[in-house]
A and B are shown apart, each in its own frame.
Chain A
Amino acid sequence: MNVVRILCLTYLALAVQTSLRGEFIAVEFTPNFLILACAAAVLTLGGWPAIAWAAAIGLVSDCSTPDPLGIDMAAATIAALAVQTLRQGRKSESLAVSMILMTLLIVTQSLTSVVLRLALLADASVETTALSTKLGITSDTLICGLVLLAAWRIVKRLLPARAKDDFNQVVNKWNMLTN
């Protein structure tokens, strides 16, 4: 189920990233939605599947740039490994910890991508050499990611609340009847 969800999320992120660039007038730079999809995959899954998904999404991100393949894939793998190491096998954590991990993931992935491009490419594309643009994109992506994470946690907390209450009510009634 998680796999289908992450696949749909990645596809949606790729479609939005490539077809609606420049339409987001609320922010100066268009957020990198593929990095956000990568963050969602890494924070939802655990262990080696998170790293594998991060690598796959990194490859998709490579395909949407004119630079050689493999750079974003490597950056995503390194960032995912760092986050998974810090998580120490925990599958869920508080909102604050999730936000910190998301920040670490996005910043590590963006910076690693820039460093790799500058180190490996003689004639890097415009996006990689304009550091201020890259920083702007990273900050807008981070803000977008943190907002979405907070919104998702709030929605998740509200939705099962009623189901939990109903379940507890039924259990209590059964206990009363049987005792």
Chain B
Amino acid sequence: MSRTSIKPGIITAIASLTVAAALFAAPQSIADVIRSTVRDVARPGQAVTRFAFDWSSAQIQSIGPQQPGAEQLRKLAAELDDSQLRCRQLQIRTASLNQELAELRKLGVAPFQPTTAEPLVVPELVQAAVLGAETAALWRAGKLIDKGRTNGISESSLVLDDERPLIDQGDEVELVTGQPVYSGRCVVGKIANVGRWTSTVQLVTDPEFRALVQLARQTENGPVFGAEGILEGQGDEFCVLKLISSTEPVRVGQEVYSGGRDATFTVAMYYGTVVNAELKPGATHWEIRVKPAVVGHQIQTVQVLRKAMNPLRVLGQ
């Protein structure tokens, strides 16, 4: 600015700074009035700008290759999950039927019609909620049962000292260590420790987790349950399947189901999928990595399988 014009500029600057200082020191009510006035004035412009942006984005998208919107993608993902679940259920049913057929072929059909009787042991599923990280921390710190402690009610130290996921059912509903824990049709893990009010769950990825499992292989007649092996957790996101003989056909993508089923619980529960299968030269067993179907921290409710005596058999006495 030249000298003649510098004076008005400095005066304007001083005036503006004075107004700025006054506004800074002004009570909140005055600031709120000014702020809300500016926001109200800006609202029509914001609406127009947003509309123009969305319209131009839609035009650009319509010119380019058609891509589904977020809502459509969610719908498609949900439909895919449903289809995969139905497909898995049908595969399990087919594999079970194929197994029955194989047994019938081997043993032959009974010459007389058997009379059906009530089984002695029936499976029961106990629904339990998985305590979130915050609730579990409060529980372990004793803050949720603080009042209970003074009345002589306390939780087992085995459960409180265990860092595994907590569920809100325990001894009261006759849970026992080792009972399998499911989420829908998928295996989550086993009950590790049982307390009075809560229990801890050993996830399938836990380094100490072991379970008898069975591979399902595809044949020309549909899926058939194949070799049995031991699934071991590794402490990371994958499990290892051991003791599958090198003579068994194994390929990536095969599904792993619960093994060792008996007549009391014939349903095959899903563990996961084979993601890597290696047979080293001269090895007697496969080295198989399995990706579990359920990630522990994503589940909110689980079902614990317990086997109880059939009440109809008890009443019959």
Q: Are B46 and A48 in contact (CB under 8 A)?
A: no
**Residues on B with beta carbons closer than 8 Å to the beta carbon of A136:** none
Residue of B nearest to A66 (CB): B35
- A118 on the B face (CB < 8 A): no
Mostly, the A contact residues are: helix
Residue of B nearest to A47 (CB): B5
Q: A70-B20, A70-B24, A73-B16 are in contact. List 20 more A-B contacts (CB 8 A).
A: A18-B42, A19-B46, A19-B50, A23-B53, A47-B5, A47-B8, A47-B9, A51-B12, A54-B16, A55-B16, A55-B20, A63-B38, A69-B31, A70-B21, A74-B17, A77-B16, A85-B6, A85-B9, A89-B1, A89-B2
Q: Which of A77-132 contact B (CB under 8 A)?
A: 77-78, 80-81, 84-85, 87-89, 120
30 pairs, A vs B, C-beta closer than 8 Å? A12-B45, A12-B49, A14-B38, A14-B45, A15-B46, A15-B48, A20-B49, A46-B5, A47-B5, A48-B8, A48-B12, A60-B38, A62-B23, A63-B39, A64-B38, A68-B24, A68-B31, A70-B24, A71-B24, A73-B19, A73-B20, A74-B16, A77-B16, A77-B17, A78-B17, A81-B9, A85-B1, A87-B1, A88-B2, A89-B2
Q: Are B45 and A15 in contact (CB under 8 A)?
A: yes
A residues with a Cβ closer than 8 A to B are: 11-12, 14-16, 18-20, 23, 46-48, 51-52, 54-55, 58-60, 62-64, 68-71, 73-74, 77-78, 80-81, 84-85, 87-89, 120
B residues with a Cβ closer than 8 A to A are: 1-2, 5-6, 8-13, 16-17, 19-24, 26, 31, 34-35, 38-39, 42, 45-50, 53
Mostly, the B contact residues are: helix
Interface pairs A-B: 10 shortest CB-CB: A15-B45, A70-B24, A55-B16, A70-B20, A63-B38, A89-B2, A48-B12, A19-B46, A70-B23, A69-B23
Cβ-neighbour of A16 out of B2, B47, B49 (below 8 A): B49
Q: Are A74 and B21 in contact (CB under 8 A)?
A: yes
A87 to chain B, nearest CB (A): 7
Q: Whole-angstrom distance between the alpha carbons of A93 and B137 in the complex? A: 66
Residue of B nearest to A20 (CB): B53
